[in-house]
């Protein structure tokens, strides 16, 4: 058996019968063929928020998550732009200083995590260490200055 859904105007009219016209709660509930507990709950809701809507408001943690996701999207776009500007030479230590334009606080850990998630890797120079070997004979060259 499905649950009946009443619109906002019906609820307000039923509550006003009880509150403003001083009718008894049980009598109004019998006439409208709704349970008296439902009408009692509607009176409480009417005094608090006047039936705000069918959806529920976001809790603080849900709101915080939504805000952080938005901040991360803005930061990732900014990091991507900086990375392309500098031809892939930027990494998290330098990129940490840049996102202060939009006044979004971002520490090095957060920036490096976003860079890792975006799979951006800085190009590094290929430096090779040249080993010195004493055993190999060195070829002496003549001094051209003397």
Percentage of the chain exceeding pLDDT 70: 75
Q: Are 45 and 19 in contact (CB under 8 A)?
A: no
CB atoms under 10 Å from CB of 36, counted, come to 14
Residue 131 three-state SS: coil
29 and 36 Cβ atoms separated by less than 8 Å: yes
Quick check: pTM over 0.85?
A: no
Q: How far is CA 96 from the centre of its chain?
A: 19
Q: Per-domain residue ranges for the chain? A: 8-48, 60-117
Closest CA relative to residue 109, chosen from 124, 122, 117: 117
* pLDDT tens per residue, range 65-111: 988 999 889 888 888 888 888 777 766 556 556 555 666 777 878 88
CA dihedral for 46, 42, 11, 1, sign (positive or negative): positive
Q: Does residue 124 register a pLDDT over 60?
A: yes
Q: What is the pLDDT of residue 90?
A: 66
CATH number of the 8-48 domain: 1.10.10
């Amino acid at each position: 058996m499905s649950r009946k859904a009443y619109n906002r105007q019906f609820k307000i009219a039923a509550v006003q019968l009880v509150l403003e016209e001083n009718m008894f709660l049980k009598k109004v509930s019998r006439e409208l063929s709704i349970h008296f507990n439902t009408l009692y709950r509607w009176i409480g809701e009417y005094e608090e928020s006047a039936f705000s809507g069918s959806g529920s408001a976001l809790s603080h943690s849900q709101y915080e998550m939504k805000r952080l996701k938005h901040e991360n999207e803005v930061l990732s776009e900014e990091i991507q732009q900086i990375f392309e500007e500098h031809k892939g030479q930027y990494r998290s230590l330098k990129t940490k200083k840049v996102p202060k334009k939009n006044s979004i606080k971002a520490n090095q850990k957060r920036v490096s995590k976003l860079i890792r998630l975006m799979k951006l890797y800085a190009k590094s120079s290929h430096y090779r260490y040249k080993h010195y070997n004493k055993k190999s004979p060195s070829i002496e060259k003549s001094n051209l200055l003397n």
